[in-house]
Structure formats: structure tokens, C-alpha cells
Structure 1
Amino acid sequence: MKGVKIAILAFGQVHELEYAWAARDDRPGVATALGLTRSVSAVRAAADLVVVFNHRGREGNSCPISEQKTFAAKLAAAGGDVILGSHAHTLQGDGWMGGTYVAYGLANFLWYGDSFSTDTGVLKMTMRAARWSKMSSYPPWSLSQDSRSH
């Protein structure tokens, strides 16, 4: 992107699995939310744009829970420009929180089961002059059992 520095931070916080999946000195794993706001602040100083992808929320909910909203506000205050969420396996709300774009739940692009919604979609992020200029959520569509759109 012609000299634009983009930092992408990704973490997981599934409470019941957080310790089992966490990266440690003796094994690889998932980055957890512990210290994430400090990490966002640190990369903010070196990057033009900061994208935070987080795996948290409550499975099956079509609306973000208060914990997701509170944490998104903290990430935005720390310097996140875009906050993308998953874990609920459903499409959740999205929009602007001040100058930060937040998509709480991106649903499943491909998923092997039918225990949650099969609605999915695509988010297109457009950048102009080192700023996000447009976020486009394409209309959702449904996936069949064999992951074909219809």
C-alpha cells in the first residue's frame, strides 16, 4: 500500500478454552486479550492503521453482548482503527464508534455444521490516503450443508 504501515493484531478469548489454547513460553498457541490494549497502543505508535481481529462473544447470539461492546470501546481508545469480531457464528451489528469501525460478528464464511446460522457475507474495506474511507457490507447470503451459497 505504497508506504502505508498496517498493523494487524489477532487474539482469542473463549473463556472456557482460554488457558488450554493460550500461547506459552513452551508451546505455540493463541494470543489472549491479556495486555491487548497495551499492544494496540504500542503498535499505534509505529503504524498508520491498526486492525484488531478478536475471537470472542457468545455463540449463537445475533447481537453483541455488553462485554464485546465494552472491549471494542477500550480497543478503539487504545488506537484501533478497525475491530473485527467472530466466535458467535452469526452476523452481528457493525458500524462506526467515533473514528473506529467495529464489526462485532462476521459469522462463518465456511462452516461444517448447521447448529448456527448459515447466513454469511463479505466485508470490503477501502483505504484512501492512509485512512479507511469506506466499509461495505455485502448483503448476507446463506450457505448450504455443502458450503455452496444460495
Structure 2
Amino acid sequence: MRKCNLGLALVLTCSVLLSGCGAKEGIVSSFNLKESQPKKLQIADLGDAWDTILNNSTKEFIGGHPIDESFLALVTSEYGDSVIEEIASYANFETPDIWYELTGKSIHVLWYEYCKSTGIQSYSLGNTYEIDCDDEVVLDFTGDISFANDVATTEYMDHQINGITDCFSEDLLEEMRSADIMMINNEFAYTTRGAALEGKAYTFRGDPSRVSLLEELGVDIVSVANNHVFDYGETGLKDTLDTLEDAKMPYVGAGRNLEEAKKPVYFIAAGKKIAICSATQIERTLNFTQEATDTLPGVLKCLHPEIFCGVIREAKANSDYVIVIPHWGTEGNANYGEDQINLARSFVEAGADVIIGGHTHCLQTV
């Protein structure tokens, strides 16, 4: 699997390498002061530092969070007076990078830990998972995965002595299992109930017990924003969500209503907060797969991207990096279309740092 730096907004089908650094003591040497940036403030003492951060910070500097004295007290007690005074000297900057440079944790992670320890804004803790890893965070992404009944790949797997582990090389299994965050697209429904959608040429479902295969592969999160998770209607979709939840497997891109379908999943890793959002452009001309609404279960769609771009903007406001997973393109076509380019531009403008597409059953150009 390929790896690349997570910094610019890209259209990718690869692994992503997030490079980080730990806490630094003393003056920050890597924090470049450009002429276009404001000058550092002079901070007299700890009281002045607190006052400056609370009353004179830019919204960007504090990550848009409603920080208060108790938050600053927690940071000061953990990192010391000199660190908070140095942080305060950058309070008029429109970047919060100094928090991470001096503490090893971004402002979003510090705020998350504060909310977790105090119970304040407990709603902001939902769909957030902490990853124990080194300064380097490795993320792996696959395309479509299916454990559906009566298809050749599943039957082949079932005839192997060691099941699914015989379907992959040892190197690939090690790569997937060792990744800090490993994500797949769950391209079928976990259900034994319901009826296949009338008129749809291909419908896929697998026994809910097969969800255990995800753990064997080292999967940490799945996307259910695709054109097959609804193959067995609302019953099949709800069974799928129940199955994933019972297995404690995070998912994005579908829900029992629109509010659920829009929720990103967040990971705390190496001092940064990473958001993952997913939606499907497919089907573009058909409408077998139900779109989630305020009252109906379904997938989050992005053929018309306004709602999904709102999800991306919200994720950007609450994280350091946003990874967008669209189900898009044309099967078997290695070249991306103008529609994908237009969608990608709207995702980037909304705040996407990385875009990793799926659905085409082949690699597309970057």
C-alpha cells in the first residue's frame, strides 16, 4: 500500500501517513513568523497570559471553542506557567498551531480532554475514539468489501482452511492489522431478513455473524455510504447498523435518520483530532438506495453536495484534519469524470484535507 503525507487536499486511493511531533520545551523553533502574520504579544505574567487568551484571542486561535478559566487552569497545571505564557503570546494569530507545538496536543484535543474530564459539552464526545499510537499515525483505506451470500469470493473464502486469512498475503494482513486506523467500504447488508429490492439487478446481503471478519482484518471503521447497503430495504439497513453497533464497529455515511447519517467519526491520535466523513454519489440516475431524511433511514448522498458539504464544514470546525470518503465514479473506469472533479472542488472548499474515493472496482488516477 502507498503512503503519503496528509497536508493538502488530494483525491487518493491509498494509505495515508500522518506525520506528527511530540511536545517541545522552551521557545518554538519550527513556528515560522512570516511578515504577513501579526507580531507576538508581550506577556507580563501568568495572569496576563490568561487574560490575553480569554479576551484577546482570535476565534481561530482557540479553535472556536468556548474556553474559560477552568480550561486554562487544567492546561496550566499539566504543562506549567511558562508554556501557557508562551502560548498567550501568539493569541492574536489566526492559527492554533502553537498549542500543539508546546503541548504535543492540538487545541481540539485539549478541548476534548477538558470536556471528557469535566463533563462539559458531553455531546461533543460522541463518535470519538482514542488511538494509542506513536508520533506517526498510519491510516489504511480499502475499496469495496463484501461478505455477501452466494457470490464467488465468499464461497472461495468459506472453502479455505483458515477462512478469510487465507485470502490475503501475510504482508497485506500485517499492513492492515498494524495500521492505526484501517477503513473499508461495507458494500452489502448484514441481514437475514427483508426482501431484495424489486427491479435491482444485483443485491447483496451476508449473515450478521460475518461481522467478526472485520476484526480479523484489523478494521477500525467502515463506510456504509454506498449503493448496496440498502439492497434489502429499511429492514436490511437497520439490521446492518444494529450489527455494526453490537460489534462496536464505528461507521459513517448512513443512519436511521438524516441526523445519524450525517455524523462524522473522530479519532484522537498522536495529539491530533482526525474527522472521517462519508457520502455516496451513486446511484446517479437510479434511485434504489434510499436517502436518509429527518424521518427515514438511509444513506447520506452527495450527488447534490450541499448537505454533505455542511457535514464537512462542521467536521473541519471540530478537528485538525478532515478525510472525506465519497462513493463515486463509474465502475471499471480508471479515469475520473468531470462530475467527480466538481464534487472534489466543493469538498475542498468546505474543508476536506484528503479525499479518498471508492466504487469503481479499479484504481483511478490521482
TM-score (norm 2): 0.24
Is the Cα–Cα contact under 8 Å of residues 6 and 50 in structure 1 kept in the other structure? yes
Is the Cα–Cα contact under 8 Å of residues 18 and 32 in structure 1 kept in the other structure? no
**2:324 corresponds to which residue?**
52
2:75 is the counterpart of 1:75: no
Separation in 1 of the partners of 2:316 and 2:330? Answer: 28
Within-5 A mapping of 1:1-150: 1-14=269-282, 15-18=284-287, 20-33=289-302, 34=305, 35-94=307-366
Q: Secondary structure at the match of 2:272?
A: coil
Deviations 1:37-73 (A, max 9, x none): 1211121111100000000111221100011011111
Amino acid at match of 1:21: Q
Separation in 1 of the partners of 2:301 and 2:331? Answer: 18
CA positional deviation for 1:29: 2.2
Is the Cα–Cα contact under 8 Å of residues 12 and 32 in structure 1 kept in the other structure? yes
Amino acid at match of 1:12: T
What is the CA RMSD across the aligned residues, in angstroms? 1.7
Q: Secondary structure at the match of 1:63?
A: coil
Amino acid at match of 1:20: T
Separation in 2 of the partners of 1:82 and 1:49? Answer: 8
Separation in 2 of the partners of 1:68 and 1:30? Answer: 19
Is the Cα–Cα contact under 8 Å of residues 289 and 299 in structure 2 kept in the other structure? no
Separation in 2 of the partners of 1:7 and 1:26? Answer: 26
Separation in 2 of the partners of 1:20 and 1:36? Answer: 17
Unaligned runs of 5+ in 1: 95-150
> Cα–Cα, structure 1 residues 44 and 92, in superposed 2: closer, same or farther, change >3 Å?
same
Amino acid at match of 2:278: A
Structure exhibiting the larger radius of gyration computed from Cα positions:
2
Q: Secondary structure at the match of 2:311?
A: helix
CA positional deviation for 1:84: 0.7
CA positional deviation for 1:78: 1.2
Deviations 1:64-87 (A, max 9, x none): 001101111111111101101112
Separation in 2 of the partners of 1:77 and 1:38? Answer: 11
Is the Cα–Cα contact under 8 Å of residues 327 and 357 in structure 2 kept in the other structure? yes
Q: Percent identity?
A: 35
Task: Give the strand-richer structure, 1 or 2.
Answer: 1
TM-score (norm 1): 0.56
Deviations 1:73-104 (A, max 9, x none): 1111111011011121111012xxxxxxxxxx
Separation in 2 of the partners of 1:17 and 1:68? Answer: 18
Which moved further from structure 2: 24-33 or 59-68?
A: 24-33
Separation in 2 of the partners of 1:18 and 1:41? Answer: 27
Q: Matched residue pairs, number?
A: 94
Q: Secondary structure at the match of 2:347?
A: helix
Point out 4+ residue stretches in structure 1 off by more than 6 angstroms: none
> Cα–Cα, structure 1 residues 25 and 12, in superposed 2: closer, same or farther, change >3 Å?
same
Task: Give the helix-richer structure, 1 or 2.
Answer: 2
Q: Secondary structure at the match of 1:5?
A: strand
Deviations 1:3-41 (A, max 9, x none): 311110011111134563322344432111141112111
Is the Cα–Cα contact under 8 Å of residues 62 and 90 in structure 1 kept in the other structure? yes
Unaligned runs of 5+ in 2: 1-268
Amino acid at match of 1:47: S
